[in-house]
Amino acid sequence: MLLFLPRKIRRDIRIGGAVIGVNLAKYDRHGSKIETSHSGERGSVFSKLQYPDKIQKPGRAAGRTVNAGPGYISYSSVVKAPSSGSHAPNLGLKALPIEIPPTNTVTKKSLEFRSLVEEVKDIDTLNNLKVHLTGVTDEGLRLNYLGSLKVLLCFSIPPIFERITWIKILGVPISLWDWHIFNKIGERCGRLLVKSEAEASNGNMSEERVAVLVQTAKKLSLEFNLSWKDHKINVWVEEISGQWYPNFLDES
């Protein structure tokens, strides 16, 4: 039979004239080893979970503490821990990793090669973005708000190759030398960006030049047949050599 004697081991217990020997128990009723502190007191290893490091045990004299070991976190230390801003106190736990396998998401597939992230200059522009993009949104452009001043522009089709080029129009007779005639010819070549200013006072009436937006990398070389009254007049369009670039680029 084992008796728990927390302070001194008694040797004077007799039963029927026989002296009962008593040994200190090494394990408690739960099967946990009973440890002895430097002061001679014994306690279960579970006692370490009850009191944090440098926190006084309830009901004991002031100044006596129990070392709970490294990495120990108690309820009271969590409650008393100072907070940082609106975030919860750091409990010493690392963020749990989540591994994402290399895969194409549905969003990536639907937006790849036909979306742009743009940042507007102020909140008024952001509020009236649809007004500023009137006509463009009707052609299949969708707007998504990303927070702050950023928006996602989603096009219904992938971007199409386009370039700006200057063309010269040859063969138009003097009787048809008028800006609206040249603009009509230019519109057959692409989107007209710089219109004709032809008039009867022009010194050079051998050719007229306009700028157009085209969707081909091939050099333009076209022939048109103008129908005017009872006449059929052939005119030619040739792309001007050299790559056009905006003025803000360094000319060198």
pLDDT digits (tens, 9 = 90+) for 144-159: 999 999 999 888 777 6
- pLDDT given for residue 130 in this prediction: 85
Neighbours of 164 (CB within 10 A): 16
- pLDDT given for residue 116 in this prediction: 86
For residue 43, what are the contacts with CB-CB under 8 A and spacing of at least 6?
A: 34, 35, 37
- pLDDT given for residue 8 in this prediction: 53
- pLDDT given for residue 135 in this prediction: 65
Q: Is the pLDDT of residue 47 over 60?
A: no
pLDDT interval class at 140 (50, 70, 90): confident
Q: Is the pLDDT of residue 22 over 50?
A: yes
> Can you give the pTM of this predicted structure?
0.45
Instruction: Give me the residue label for tokens 């009236």.
Output: 128
For residue 192, what are the contacts with CB-CB under 8 A and spacing of at least 6?
A: 183, 186, 210, 211, 212
Rounded to whole angstroms, the Cα distance separating 195 from 182 reads 8
For residue 132, what are the contacts with CB-CB under 8 A and spacing of at least 6?
A: 125
Neighbours of 68 (CB within 10 A): 19
CB 212 within 8 A of CB 191: yes
Q: For 77-97, what is each residue's pLDDT tens digit?
A: 555 555 554 455 555 678 899
Q: Is the pLDDT of residue 178 over 90?
A: yes
